[in-house]
């Protein structure tokens, strides 16, 4: 699907019909509800504004959170038009239980270690997380960034030692960053895109070697049952198009290829 043609059709259709929904947006607008992984908050907020500007009469309403929780909400309530996940596993789950169309991978991400700037535990590498007494925070099992972190630790052969140092399991990557910026833990494993300009002076990022690191792939799709498939398809096409890809890159995401 070519974004430009779809967007033009969408704008004309919306202006001609003046369609509206009761769940948000101004009169005469169409509200698209997008459930997206919390790590996409900054990038998708900007992408949503750009999509609205390119498609007058459309309002994009986001619900950000952990991909597992969003998937479960879609399956129980069916309130999303589009789902953008940080994990193919949870997109697969929604595809099986609810159904999706127009699925496409649109970004990738890698993990890094973050510590407070003062680095009180003297963490210099992944292996240092296994030292006794180092206070580590991870996302909970089932949350994509938590599962990826555990895979990294397993790849490095230090899962047992590091997991014994875990002092809390958080529900999303934003909570992990907050634990480090507040000085409540010595280290966390987060996405590289979480080290934004807003927190770059409040954390120190330590790279993880490629042989043991995990590359997270982000899929997006239209959720079966949406009342406005044309708008949803147009948004998916926009996210995979050049303008949104440039925005994602500026927020630290890797291209999907």
Query: Using one digit for the tens of pLDDT, what is the confidence trace for 60-84?
Result: 999 999 999 999 999 999 899 999 9
Q: In this predicted structure, what is the pLDDT of residue 22? A: 32
Alpha carbons 166 and 135: distance in angstroms, whole number: 6
Domain with CATH 3.40.190.10 in the chain: 3-108+217-250, 109-207
pLDDT at 25 over 60: no
Q: How many residues would you count in the chain? A: 257
pLDDT at 206 over 80: yes
Q: What value does the mean pLDDT take over residues 102-113?
A: 98
Give the count of beta carbons closer than 10 Å to the beta carbon of residue 210.
8
Q: What value does the mean pLDDT take over residues 84-100?
A: 97
| DSSP character string of 120-163 | TT---SGGGGGSTT--EEEEPTTSHHHHHHHHHHHHTT-HHHHH
Q: Which CATH superfamily is domain 109-207 in?
A: Periplasmic binding protein-like II (3.40.190.10)
Characterize 31-40 residue by residue with b for buried, 16 or more Cβ atoms within 10 angstroms of its Cβ, and e for exposed: bbbbbbbbbb
pLDDT at 20 over 90: no
Query: Using one digit for the tens of pLDDT, what is the confidence trace for 115-150?
Result: 999 999 999 999 999 999 999 999 999 999 999 999
Give the count of beta carbons closer than 10 Å to the beta carbon of residue 18.
11
Exposed/middle/buried for residue 118 (C-beta within 10 Å: 0-12, 13-18, 19+)? exposed
CATH code for the domain defined by 3-108+217-250: 3.40.190.10
Note the pTM of the prediction, 2 decimals: 0.84
Q: In this predicted structure, what is the pLDDT of residue 86? A: 96
Q: In this predicted structure, what is the pLDDT of residue 26? A: 53
- Please measure the distance between the N-terminal and C-terminal CA atoms of the chain and give it in whole angstroms: 18
Token pair belonging to 46: 């900007």
| For the chain, percent of residues with pLDDT exceeding 90 | 85
């Amino acid at each position: 699907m070519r974004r430009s043609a779809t967007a033009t059709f969408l704008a004309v259709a919306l202006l001609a019909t003046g369609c509206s929904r009761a769940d948000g947006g101004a009169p005469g607008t169409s509200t698209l509800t997008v459930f997206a992984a919390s790590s996409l908050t900054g990038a998708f907020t900007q992408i949503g504004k750009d999509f609205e500007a390119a498609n007058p009469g459309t309002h994009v309403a986001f619900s950000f959170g952990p991909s597992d929780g969003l998937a479960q909400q879609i399956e129980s309530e069916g309130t999303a038009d589009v789902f953008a996940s940080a994990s193919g596993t949870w997109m697969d789950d929604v595809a099986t239980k609810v159904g999706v169309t127009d699925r496409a991978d649109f970004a990738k991400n890698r993990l890094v270690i973050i510590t407070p700037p003062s680095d009180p535990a003297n963490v210099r590498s992944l292996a240092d997380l296994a030292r006794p007494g180092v206070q580590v925070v991870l996302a909970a099992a089932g949350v994509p960034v938590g599962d990826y972190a555990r895979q990294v630790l397993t790849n490095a052969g230090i899962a047992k030692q590091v997991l014994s140092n875990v002092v809390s399991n958080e529900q999303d990557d934003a909570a992990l960053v907050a634990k480090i910026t507040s000085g409540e833990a010595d280290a966390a494993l987060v996405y590289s895109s979480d080290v934004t300009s807003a927190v770059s002076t409040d954390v120190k990022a330590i790279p993880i070697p490629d042989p043991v690191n995990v590359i997270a792939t982000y899929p997006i799709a239209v959720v079966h049952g949406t009342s406005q498939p044309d708008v949803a398809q147009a948004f998916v096409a926009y996210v995979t198009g050049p303008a949104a890809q440039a925005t994602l890159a500026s927020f630290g995401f890797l291209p999907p290829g």
